[in-house]
Each structure stands twice: as structure tokens, then as C-alpha cells.
Amino acid sequence: MSHRRAGIIFLKINGEVQDIKGSATYNLGRPKREAMLGADGIHGYSEVPQVPFIEGEITDRADMDVAAFLNTTDATITIELANGKVITLREAWYAGEGTVGTDEANIQFRFEGMSAEEV
């Protein structure tokens, strides 16, 4: 039996579907653990927070308000993966550079938020 694990994905910003290109990357914002080393060996680990995010690239459309997109704050961002998972980023803001490429109408995006979950 075969199961699709990767491929078609959907990106929504406050429920509005975007034209996503290629792949996306996400981080659930769980603490990053780093080893604590001493002269006599490993003493344990420390944790530092990470910012939850979803990033990738979308295609610009004639009816898209790019300025409003770049000014997005307090949004709910969802990405629906080919394997059936849904990643939800809450209280999110646009954290990218805002560069738009005209040759392929592409907009790089990075949304960071206060929390993320995998459903």
C-alpha cells in the first residue's frame, strides 16, 4: 500500500488560500537543547526558546494587495501538507524582507508567531 507523503501543499492566511510555489519550511517553536560541557564530560543540557515560523514562496496575483500582505500581523497561518498534517501558526506577523521577483512573480515569505501546533 502506498501513501503520499510529500507533494501538493496549501497555504492559507486567515483562511484565504495563497498560490504557494515549491516547498515550505516550518518550525513548531519548541525549545532548542544545547549540551553543557565541562572538562570532565557532559554535564547536561540547556534550553533556549525558538520562534515558531512558516516560510516559503508564493506567486503574486493581479488581485493581490502586496502591501497588505507585507503588513500582515496578528494572523492565523495554516499550511496543509500532502501527508494530511496541518500546521497552524497563531498570532503571526510577516517577518520577511518583502522582496518581489518580477521574472516569476514570486514573493518570498516568512511568518513568525507566538505559537504553532501540528494537527
**Residue 83 maps to a domain:** yes
**Residue 2 maps to a domain:** no
Give CA–CA dist 112/42, Å, rounded.
33
Q: What is the CATH number of the domain that holds 76?
A: 2.40.30
Model confidence pLDDT, tens digit, residues 82-102: 888 999 999 999 998 999 999
**Residue 5 maps to a domain:** no
**Residue 34 maps to a domain:** yes
**Residue 1 maps to a domain:** no
Give CA–CA dist 73/77, Å, rounded.
10
Using the predicted structure, report yes or no on whether residue 5 has a pLDDT greater than 70. no
CB contact at 8 A, 77 and 15: no
**Residue 41 maps to a domain:** yes
Cα four-point dihedral sign 15, 107, 80, 112: negative
**Residue 4 maps to a domain:** no
**Predicted TM-score (pTM) of this structure:** 0.89
As for how many domains the chain has, the answer is 1
Average pLDDT, the chain: 93
Q: Which domain holds residue 55?
A: 10-118
Task: Kindly state the average pLDDT of the residues 46-68.
Answer: 95
**Residue 42 maps to a domain:** yes
